[in-house]
A and B are shown apart, each in its own frame.
Chain A
Amino acid sequence: MKKDRNFLPSLIGIILLLLFVVLLENISALIPGLPQIFQPTSPLFTVLKKAAVYSLVAVSMNLLNGFTGLFSLGQAGFMLLGAYTYAILTVPSAQKEQVYYLFGGCAFDSSIVDIFGNVFGTSGVGGAVSMVLGCLIAIVAAGCVAGFFAYLIGIPVLRLKSDYLAIATLGFAEILRAIFQWQKLGPVTNGANMIKGFPTFSDFNITDGAGNVLVRLSTFVPFLISSICIMLIVLLIHSSYGRAFKSIRDDEIAAEAMGISLFKHKMMSFVISSFFAGVGGALFAMYVANAQAKAFTSVMTYEILLIVVIGGIGSVSGSVLATFLYVACSEWWLRFLDSELYIGGFKVPLLRNGFRMVVFSVVIMVIVLFFSQGIMGNRELDILSLIKRKAAAKPAEKKEERK
């Protein structure tokens, strides 16, 4: 009953948010002369894109760590699988020779986009349809590959508990990174070189024949995909499966005594979380416009873990909020600390390249020390109930005034 009450307003909220993103992206074209921050090159949009991608990965990690109580550190590995799957499937066949020049072309010579191109045509509306469809299928395939590997690795690994599971999954991610850089696999993974040339977010902008952008959608696309995926995860968490996950997190033995099969549900959570990490990996590849195993280090997993902890373990909205704050801080708001600053003839001490990271670490330490539950704890941001509470508080204030 509670779920039904909240679902529709949340849906409307997300649609409004998406519309707002589209408007924000295109406002500089509609109203000329706006400040730099609204221009497409502003760091605002870099932050929004990266945060949209990261929030999906953070929520997927939260599903596993926060809702099922499985402390896994394999997220970067599954992102890597997703990124490579997406890249390999969508690099246009015309570019494969050039991208894989060291290995004399790719083992998979075509691309999904080209296959659809043969059906719908490659230019105009037909081209757009085939690209959107091709990318969509590649993204889903990215998730499926990640989920499949999660299933395989889950069979031995999910019998482990807490720290051991973390070590095993971390090791898995590192091994995967090494394998993908292996020269012998070059015809598939391009060895240690990056794969590029596949459709990225900016390819979703609607352009005229001459290549001038008519409607910008490059921030909208990651927002759209992430919000659909996060909504699916939220629906899962609210279903009876989600309840079973939470009961396993709270007390494994009691959950087992209630007839909940531990292995089956842990596997389900692990595979689903990895699926969305794979989708996140594909989006990440689109964001940085290349796929390279070097990028998916354990540092990336720690970054996401940090976001989950800051947002609150067991809170989806916390993870999303924390992602935007974290990405904005690391990519934008603290950037000024990296450049030297002179006030008159006086050089402000300490400000130089790299100082940003020092301040950033201190900020994170303060958060972890003083908000050990994270921003949201295990609560969810519920705008409706906030409004209701305010409305309820007002008459109460009036009553007190009368007294």
Chain B
Amino acid sequence: MSEEVLQITDLYVSYGGIEAVRGINFNVRAGEIVTLIGANGAGKSSTLRAISGLVKPAGGNVTFEGEDITGKDPTMIVSKGLMMVPEGRRIFPNLTVLENLKIGAYLRNDDLEKDIETVYGYFPRLKERSWQEGGTLSGGEQQMLAVGRALMGKPKLLMMDEPSLGLAPIVVQGIFEIIRRIHEAGTTVLLIEQNANMALHVADRAYVIENGKIAIEGTGRELLENEKVRAAYLGSAGK
């Protein structure tokens, strides 16, 4: 087996006494797509926010490439190569598309031209709109921009929080196609999704989170065939 990039041990996150994450354990190995699926409020986003340093975990450890990054500054965590595509896209509406992309590479000092071209290669639509303000883009284009922005940071591990949220099915398919291509280009991906069907089809391994704990784990294929998962997350079990 290839080495573990991200190792989460016994992670707790609480907001003013309310425990959102209660002792989660999982890991991501180099070159994988790992997905966390679960219902609203299961603790998926809180887990991600704790990994990226936006909230301080109440307990447990986050290890990235063998280094303990629990509760460290987001700046430091990003500089290690852990980039996040935040939930709800959160692009910068008053900055142009190009400026948005450059912000993604804020901590880098090297030449950006090549990477901007790479991102435009993934998303030709962004190139057409490079001088447009982010807020004038459609929802799907904004999601492309959010992914492109994160890619500009040359992440070793790309974390995506519900990239399919609020998008039309055809657009979601496009986004997942891009995720697959990014993965093929060598980036490890941690994907958080409510759209379990799509997520499990692209994922190497998957974890189901319920009430702040890991309920089920396995490969994407295993979970697709798992009765409980099918009943709870994939809708019609007889499909």
Write the residues of chain A forming the contact surface with B, with a CB cutoff of 8 angstroms: 240, 243-244, 246-247, 249-251, 253-261, 314, 378
CB pair A257 B86 closer than 8 Å: yes
Bound form: Cα–Cα A261–B90 in Å: 17
Counting chain A CB atoms within 10 Å of each CB, the highest count among B73, B83, B103, B153 belongs to B103
CB pair A246 B94 closer than 8 Å: yes
Interface pairs (14), CB distance under 8 Å: A240-B106, A243-B95, A243-B102, A244-B103, A246-B92, A250-B92, A250-B94, A251-B92, A255-B103, A257-B52, A257-B54, A257-B74, A314-B94, A378-B94
The closest CB in chain B to the CB of A2 belongs to B131
B62 CB to closest chain A CB, in angstroms? 15
CB pair B102 A240 closer than 8 Å: yes
CB pair B78 A254 closer than 8 Å: no
B178 CB to closest chain A CB, in angstroms? 19
Bound form: Cα–Cα A243–B94 in Å: 11
- CB neighbours of B78 from chain A (8 A): 257-259
Counting chain A CB atoms within 10 Å of each CB, the highest count among B83, B93, B95 belongs to B95
The 4 A-B pairs at the shortest CB distance, nearest first, are namely: A259-B78, A254-B90, A250-B92, A259-B107
CB pair B93 A253 closer than 8 Å: no
The closest CB in chain A to the CB of B107 belongs to A259
Chain A binding surface, main DSSP class: helix
CB pair A250 B153 closer than 8 Å: no
Is B99 an interface position by the 8 A CB rule? yes
Counting chain A CB atoms within 10 Å of each CB, the highest count among B52, B74, B78, B93 belongs to B74
Q: How many A-B residue pairs lie within 8 Å, measured between CB atoms?
A: 66
The closest CB in chain A to the CB of B53 belongs to A256
With A253-B54, A255-B103 as given contacts, are A260 and B75 in contact (CB-CB < 8 Å)?
yes
Is B43 an interface position by the 8 A CB rule? no
Is B29 an interface position by the 8 A CB rule? no
Q: A247-B95, A261-B75 are in contact. List 7 more A-B contacts (CB 8 A).
A: A243-B95, A244-B103, A249-B94, A250-B92, A259-B74, A259-B78, A259-B107
Is B79 an interface position by the 8 A CB rule? yes
- CB neighbours of B54 from chain A (8 A): 253, 256-257
- CB neighbours of A251 from chain B (8 A): 90-93
- CB neighbours of B94 from chain A (8 A): 246, 249-250, 314, 378
CB pair B102 A257 closer than 8 Å: no
The closest CB in chain B to the CB of A251 belongs to B90
Bound form: Cα–Cα A314–B84 in Å: 28
- CB neighbours of B140 from chain A (8 A): none
- CB neighbours of A257 from chain B (8 A): 52, 54, 74, 78, 84, 86, 90
With A243-B99, A258-B153, A259-B75 as given contacts, are A253 and B90 in contact (CB-CB < 8 Å)?
yes
- CB neighbours of A258 from chain B (8 A): 78, 83, 103-104, 106, 149, 153
- CB neighbours of B90 from chain A (8 A): 251, 253-254, 257
The closest CB in chain A to the CB of B149 belongs to A258
| Cβ contacts B96-115/A at 8 Å (1 or 0 each) | 00010011101100000000
A296 CB to closest chain B CB, in angstroms? 32
- CB neighbours of B75 from chain A (8 A): 259-261
The closest CB in chain B to the CB of A252 belongs to B90
CB pair B107 A250 closer than 8 Å: no
A264 CB to closest chain B CB, in angstroms? 8
- CB neighbours of A255 from chain B (8 A): 92, 103
The closest CB in chain B to the CB of A246 belongs to B95
Bound form: Cα–Cα A253–B99 in Å: 17
CB pair A261 B95 closer than 8 Å: no
CB pair B153 A259 closer than 8 Å: yes
The closest CB in chain A to the CB of B78 belongs to A259
Bound form: Cα–Cα A249–B135 in Å: 14
Counting chain A CB atoms within 10 Å of each CB, the highest count among B54, B73, B94, B149 belongs to B94
B117 CB to closest chain A CB, in angstroms? 15
The closest CB in chain A to the CB of B93 belongs to A250
Among A244, A249, A253, the residue within 8 A (CB) of B106 is: A244
- CB neighbours of B106 from chain A (8 A): 240, 243-244, 258-260
CB pair B86 A253 closer than 8 Å: yes
- CB neighbours of A247 from chain B (8 A): 92, 95, 103
Which residues of chain B from 163 to 217 have any CB-CB distance to chain A below 8 Å in the complex? none
CB pair A260 B103 closer than 8 Å: yes
